[in-house]
């Protein structure tokens, strides 16, 4: 790869540093004792006794001097002869550093200031500073450097924004570049890191709620012999040692329910799922999901638990139970509306799916200009209708409940509504956030549901489920009444941070291969 002029200059500087006996990548630990934000928050200006002399003030300043050791990237530099200013960026924020030649070079040798700091150091280099905190004449809290240590050389120039006549140049704002080079995005774009800190708060808060409720976090296989637990197209790989094809898991459901059979009262897993489907602003083929299964509960209990959990997460992230997205204020304050899916479809289209045959529903879809074919069963058609006419209209959190059995092969039949199941999906801002059931624990019924899925597969539905005989065997040993839920962590993060594209809340989203010359 051909080097730019700036890269060539930086490599020459690297060699000059080595020639001066300065290791540009030292191994020794540099101990810090403060962060930029901490310094700014905790600093208080000295208060002098009334009538104190200059000598007394100087002595007091010496006694109260706050000595700090900080480290980070140099993000800007203003050289002014024997004294200069630079801006240091650490993991928390930025702070100004005052660098005076005779302070960091008290002896006759002024190399560290005249040669290293002024000429061989570049924007993006890591440096350690030891000194004391003070406030400049312009009122800015700063660190007066007394010792400077070179920590790491940056060989590529950062895309630092420059302003001229009110116009910003060299902005690093192209989404493809930002997602592909997230390491640069995090350094130069304000607010990016805060989004991922909020994501960490979401995961941490959810885990605390589940742990406090007494549920056990577990890990289940990512490589599976059967892609089960959801209706989705899997990724396929080959396991050389066993000479057999394996699937990247599309869900954790069936393994977690095996653990409920084994005696765990409540189990959950936060981990990656993989679905070999399209990519868009709200879908990534590799995504993070939390699934929870609790014995002796049903979908009504799960709705109440979910809305309480999401309200608490929203408060933890945003300080209140609501968030603003594109000018819309979405409230996660419990309780949420509960609406049967067939009622939602009738409400939006005027068509009542109750009692209708597959052919009648397909004919209505075609009447509405939808592209449907003979491979789609009744459940798939209803799902398409809901997605086309209803899903995007639910902005405030809404539980869509009581799905037809054809759409829910792992769900218990509704206790009072024939042909329906005890299932809900939580819709927020026009998208599905969670999917939950009163879990089917009748092994005979479950086997028949699997066989119906296989019939759909024979018709050409490549998202239909495969029969999992080991899971059926587990159910035959008996599984207690159970409720389960899956919540997409990526979608939840988008909602809680007000982001529209999944790439904004995934550190490294999947992208087309980059052509590197």
Q: What's the CATH number where 73 sits?
A: 2.40.50.140
Question: Do 287 and 430 share a domain, yes or no?
Answer: yes
Q: How confident is the model at residue 168 (pLDDT cuts 50, 70, 90)?
A: low
Give the model confidence (pLDDT) of 83-93 as tens digits. Answer: 999 999 999 99
Question: Quick check: 170 pLDDT over 90?
Answer: no
279 and 407, same domain (yes or no): yes
Q: How many Å apart are CA 358 and CA 467, to the nearest integer? A: 23
CA distance 14 to 209: 50
Q: Per mean pLDDT, which range of 14-18, 157-161, 190-194, 211-215 is the poorest?
A: 157-161
Q: Where is pLDDT greater, at 373 or 162?
A: 373
* 259 and 140 share one domain: no
CA 419 to chain centre: 38
Position 267 in a domain: yes
Per the structure, the count of domains in the chain is 2
Which of the two residues, 312 and 171, has the higher pLDDT score? Answer: 312
* CA distance linking residue 331 with residue 89, whole number of Å: 36
Measure the CA–CA gap between 123 and 114, rounded to whole angstroms: 16
For β-strands 223-224 and 244-248, DSSP reports them as antiparallel
Q: Are residues 131 and 233 in the same domain?
A: no
In a domain, 378, yes or no: no
pLDDT over threshold 90, residue 200: yes
Is 516 domain-assigned? no
390-419: pLDDT as tens digits: 999 999 999 999 998 888 888 999 999 988
Helices (H) and strands (E) in the chain, counts: 16, 20
Q: Is residue 342 part of a domain?
A: no
CA nearest to 429, candidates 342, 497, 382, 380: 497
8 A C-beta contact, residue 437 and residue 449 = no
| Token code pair at residue 209 | 């709620």
Residues 6+ apart with CB under 8 A from 219: 269, 271
Check residue 161 and give its pLDDT: 77
Dig out the tokens for 506 from the structure: 């995934």
Q: Which of 133, 158, 183 is the last residue of a domain?
A: 158
Distances (CA, A) of 344 to 30, 33, 291, 347: 61, 58, 26, 5
Q: Which residues pair with 70 in a beta bridge?
A: 129
pLDDT of 506? 97
How far is the C-alpha of 115 from the C-alpha of 97, rounded, in Å?
A: 18
Per-residue pLDDT band for 202 (boundaries 50, 70, 90) equals: very high
Q: What is the tens place of the pLDDT at every residue in 172-195?
A: 999 999 999 999 999 999 999 999
Residue 215 lies in a domain: yes
Question: In the prediction, which pLDDT does 282 show?
Answer: 87
Q: How far apart, in whole angstroms, are the C-alpha atoms of residue 62 and residue 144?
A: 13
Same domain, residue pair 22 and 109 = yes
pLDDT, average across residues 99-126: 96
Last residue of a domain, one of 158, 178, 212: 158
pLDDT in tens, 456-493: 778 877 777 788 999 999 999 999 999 999 999 999 99
More confident residue, 516 or 199: 199
Q: Are residues 410 and 320 in the same domain?
A: yes
Within-domain flag for 343 = no
The answer to whether 117 and 123 are in contact (CB under 8 A) is: no
**Angle, CA of 138, 142 and 147, to the nearest 5°:** 135
Confirm whether 350 is domain-assigned: no
Cβ–Cβ under 8 Å, residues 69 and 33: yes
Shared domain check, 452 and 310: yes
In contact, 126 and 113? CB cutoff 8 Å: no
Residue pLDDT, tens place only, 316-360: 999 999 999 989 999 999 999 999 999 999 999 999 998 899 999
Q: Same structural domain for residues 58 and 111?
A: yes
At residue 407, the pLDDT reads: 85
Place of tokens 């040798």: 109
- Is 515 part of a structural domain of the chain? no
Verify that 149 and 291 share a domain, yes or no: no
Distances (CA, A) of 198 to 273, 312, 428: 21, 14, 19
Q: Are residues 152 and 225 in the same domain?
A: no
Give the gyration radius of the chain's Cα atoms: 30
Confidence check: pLDDT of 517 > 60: no
Contact by Cβ (8 Å): 220, 256: yes
Are 327 and 445 in a shared domain?
A: yes
pLDDT at 60: 92
**Same structural domain, 106 and 232:** no
Could you give the 3-state DSSP secondary structure of residue 193? Answer: helix
**335 prior amide bond cis, ω within 30:** yes
Q: Which pLDDT tens digit goes with each residue over 435-447? A: 999 999 999 999 9
- Tell me which residue has tokens 């540093």: 17
DSSP assignment letter at 298: -
What is the token pair recorded at 17?
A: 């540093």
Structural domain boundaries enclosing 217 = 192-336+396-504
Long-range (24+ apart) CB contacts under 8 A made by 414-421 are: 420/340, 420/342
pLDDT (tens digit per residue) in 364-383: 999 999 999 888 888 889 98
CATH code at 490? 3.30.930.10
CB 224 within 8 A of CB 250: no
User: How far apart, in Å, do the first and last CA atoms of the chain sit?
Assistant: 6
Last residue of a domain, one of 158, 178, 204: 158
Q: pLDDT (tens digit, 9 = 90+) per residue, 123-143? A: 999 999 999 999 999 999 999
- What band does 516 get if pLDDT is binned at 50, 70 and 90? low
pLDDT surpassing 80 at residue 209 = yes
């Amino acid at each position: 790869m051909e080097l730019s002029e700036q890269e060539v200059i930086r490599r020459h500087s690297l060699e000059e540093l080595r020639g001066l006996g300065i290791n540009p990548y030292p191994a020794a630990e540099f101990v810090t004792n403060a962060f930029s934000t901490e310094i700014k928050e905790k600093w208080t200006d000295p208060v002098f006794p009334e009538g104190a002399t200059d000598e007394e003030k100087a002595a007091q300043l010496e006694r109260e001097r706050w000595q700090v050791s900080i480290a980070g990237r140099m993000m800007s530099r203003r050289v002014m002869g024997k004294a200069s200013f630079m801006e240091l960026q650490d993991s928390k924020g930025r702070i100004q550093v005052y660098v005076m030649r005779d302070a960091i070079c008290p002896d006759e040798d002024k190399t560290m200031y005249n040669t290293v700091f002024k000429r061989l150091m570049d924007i993006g280099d890591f440096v350690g500073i030891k000194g004391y905190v003070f406030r400049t004449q312009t009122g800015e809290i700063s660190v007066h450097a007394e010792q400077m240590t070179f920590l790491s050389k940056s060989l590529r120039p950062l895309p630092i924004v420059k302003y001229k006549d009110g116009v910003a140049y060299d902005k690093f704002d192209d989404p493809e570049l930002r997602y592909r080079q997230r390491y640069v995005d995090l350094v130069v774009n304000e607010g990016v890191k805060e989004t991922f800190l909020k994501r960490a708060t979401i995961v941490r808060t959810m885990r605390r709620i589940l742990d406090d409720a007494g549920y056990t976090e577990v890990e289940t296989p990512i490589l599976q012999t059967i892609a089960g637990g959801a209706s989705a197209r899997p990724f396929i790989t080959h396991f050389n040692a066993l000479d057999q094809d394996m699937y990247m898991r599309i869900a954790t459901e069936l393994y977690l329910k095996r653990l409920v059979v084994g005696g765990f009262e409540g189990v959950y897993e936060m981990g990656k799922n993989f679905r070999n489907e399209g990519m868009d602003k709200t879908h990534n083929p590799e995504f993070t999901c939390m699934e929870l299964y609790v014995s002796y509960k049903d979908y009504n209990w799960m709705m109440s638990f979910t809305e309480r959990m999401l309200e608490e997460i929203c408060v933890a992230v945003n300080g209140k139970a609501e968030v603003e997205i594109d000018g819309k204020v979405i409230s996660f304050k419990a309780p949420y509306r509960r609406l049967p899916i067939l009622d939602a479809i009738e409400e939006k289209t005027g068509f009542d799916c109750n009692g209708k045959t597959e052919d009648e529903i397909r004919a209505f879809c075609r009447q509405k200009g939808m592209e449907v074919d003979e491979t789609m069963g009744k459940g798939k058609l209803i799902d398409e209708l809901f997605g086309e006419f209803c899903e995007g209209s639910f902005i405030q959190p809404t539980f869509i409940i009581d799905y037809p059995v054809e759409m829910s092969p792992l769900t218990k039949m509704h206790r009072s509504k024939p042909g329906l199941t005890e299932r809900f999906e939580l819709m927020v801002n026009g998208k599905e956030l969670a999917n939950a059931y009163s879990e089917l624990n009748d092994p005979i019924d479950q086997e028949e549901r699997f066989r119906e899925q296989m019939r759909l597969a024979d018709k050409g539905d490549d998202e239909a489920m495969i029969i999992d005989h080991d899971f059926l065997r587990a159910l035959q040993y008996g599984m207690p009444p159970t409720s389960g839920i899956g919540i997409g962590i990526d979608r939840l993060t988008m909602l809680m941070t007000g982001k529209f594209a999944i790439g904004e809340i995934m550190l490294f989203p999947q992208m087309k291969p980059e052509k590197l010359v």
